[in-house]
Chains A and B, each alone.
Chain A
Amino acid sequence: AQTVTQSQPEMSVQEAETVTLSCTYDTSESNYYLFWYKQPPSRQMILVIRQEAYKQQNATENRFSVNFQKAAKSFSLKISDSQLGDTAMYFCAFMGNNAGNMLTFGGGTRLMVKP
């Protein structure tokens, strides 16, 4: 079974600065997808970024980028120029080709952006 671990329960960052959220996972599959989701106080889950394991290039979406290290099974999220609206819970998630293509979530990191 896959597991996803987020080792930072809470983090804070000053507005306009950069923060990196950590995520590691364990799987025996060679092809899979990794995701970062944001859950603001409204509790709506929002996709931040997605990475396909067979792609070596790290995914980027505006101020959000990932550092995908397949051999180390690491998938960190970097948020540049942090904004107050980035305050939220962030969940790392894994989807393999087995187990019905379900998402496996990490425990989450609560990020607070301070003015």
Chain B
Amino acid sequence: GAVVSQHPSRVICKSGTSVKIECRSLDFQATTMFWYRQFPKQSLMLMATSNEGSKATYEQGVEKDKFLINHASLTLSTLTVTSAHPEDSSFYICSARETGGVHYTFGSGTRLTVV
């Protein structure tokens, strides 16, 4: 079946530094990938839609200069949290939809802790 690999699974960083999270579709091509943020005991909140070869589409209220998304190939999207603050601490999840398909495959998530 379709597999999406997300790395790292956990990361701790210092305030002011940047952290990159990778989302890779292993056995299919994904023109579109999605980045979510999930607070404890809450639902997934869509942050942005990542489109291969073009700029990401950010949801209202999400700072595009803080959460940089790069979708440089059909199998890789990255989310970089720049100048991280403790309030950026959260669980980040990516998902990918196979080009032309209706099935979404999710990565295993990244727990970011900013100290």
A contact set with B: CB distance below 8 Å: 33, 35, 42-45, 47, 50, 91, 95, 100-103, 105-108, 110
Contacts and interface: CB of A to CB of B under 8 A. Distances in A.
Contacts of A35: 104
B109 A43 contact: yes
A43 B109 CA distance: 7
Interface of B: 32, 34, 38, 41-44, 46, 49, 57, 91, 93, 95, 97, 102-104, 106, 108-109
A103 B34 contact: yes
B91 A43 contact: yes
Nearest to B91: A43
A91 B109 contact: no
**Interface SS of chain B:** strand
Contacts of B38: 43
B95 to A, nearest CB: 7
A103 B34 CA distance: 9
B102 A102 contact: no
Contacts of A106: 43
Nearest to A35: B104
